Every structure is written in structure tokens, then in C-alpha cells.
Amino acid sequence: MDSYETKIAKQDERIRKLEEENQKLQGIKEYVEESRRIQNENQEKIKTVVSELGSLIDSINKNYVPKEKFDQLANEVHGNKSSSKVTPAANESSKKETSNDAAAAVSAKALAGKDSATLLKEADDLYAKKSYNDAQTYYKELLNRNYKPAKVNFTLGEIAYTQKAYSGAIEYYKASIALHDKAAYIPTLLYHTGSSFDKLGKGKEAQSFYKALKENYPTSPEAKSVK
């Protein structure tokens, strides 16, 4: 039989091991609590960004000159003919727009018979091929169906961004992040939102998105590309 001293030693060893396990558990608990705190902080930052984005879009809609009016003013400054006078070129452009609208209507009617999953795959294929106008028609049909609206809004924002329609891109990005703020594409969304504001001459607003990007996704390629 074990001596009294041996029993005490074994008991002390058990107590020591229990204390070590307790310390490990305490460390894990603290880590989980800290991770939860950081996650909550990031969520609040994203919510703040979304709120600011809404206010900025309202400001842009109120204060920015529409593109058509801007182009008209630019032509007048450079001594071109007033856009109020219909020239053959302008008339031809109008005919093309009417034709494009009709084609789009036909396309939308044809798309209505396809299931949403197939439609999304075809839209993504068109987007990958840089057939942006066709892809846009598909994505807008998907929006009408409310099918994966977060992803669809984001991709429509990317198309608008590529086409340098920055105000439109911002609106799509806002709709996307409001629906799903944990998607894998959020770093790109924040970066392109900031870049869009930069392109619109709103440097201060752009910096708020770059800051959110660097704070929430510091290791992302997008964050590293921000100067």
C-alpha cells in the first residue's frame, strides 16, 4: 500500500493538474470573449458605414449634376452645338437608344421563362466574358425576382464601377452590404465604394471607407492596396 506521504503527493499532483486545466479553460474563455467583443465592434463599424453610405448617396442625388446635363454644359463650354438642337448624329443616337430599349425588353421577356439558378449562372458567365450590358439585363431580372439580391446588387455595382457610373455603383454597393455584410466580397465592395467617392471628388467620404476596410480586413489585398 502507498504510504501516507505518497498519497499526499499524488493528491497534490492531481490538484496541480486540475489548476493547470482550469487556467487553460480560463484562457480559452478570455479568448472567446475577446473574439466576440472584436466581432461586435466590427459589426457596429459596418453598420455605421452603411448608415453613412445612405446619407452620402442622398447628398449625391441632391447635389450632383446629372451626367446628361454635365455633358451638355461641357459641350457648350467647348463651343459645340447646343444639345437642345437635334443634329443628325443626336437623332441617330436617339434611334439607337430606342432600338436598344426594344432589344432589352425582348431579352427580358425571353429571360422570364428561365429558372433563377440557370439565369444566375448565365449572368455570371456573361460577366466573366465582360459582356456587361447583357449581364446587366440578366442580373436586373434576378433582382426583380429577389433572387440572391446581395450578390446580384454587388455585381451590378461592379458593372457600374467598370463603366465609370460611380454614383450608380455606390447605390448598388449600399443595397448589397445592407443585405449581407459578411460576404467574401465585402473588402472589394468597401474598396470600390471608397474609390467611387474618390472619382466623384469626395475624398473625405472615400477615406471613411478605406479606413473601415483597413480596420476590418487588414490582411486583404484591397486593404494593402490603399495608400
Q: Which fold has domain 149-227?
A: 1.25.40
Res. 7: pLDDT tops 80: no
The pLDDT confidence band at residue 221, using thresholds 50, 70 and 90, is very high
- Domain residue ranges in the chain: 84-147, 149-227
Q: What is the pLDDT of residue 59?
A: 52
How does pLDDT run across 122-156, given as a tens digit for each residue? 999 999 999 999 999 999 999 999 999 999 999 99
Q: What is the pLDDT of residue 75?
A: 47
Average pLDDT over residues 93-104: 49
Place of cell 479553460: 25
How does pLDDT run across 18-42, given as a tens digit for each residue? 888 888 888 887 888 887 777 777 7
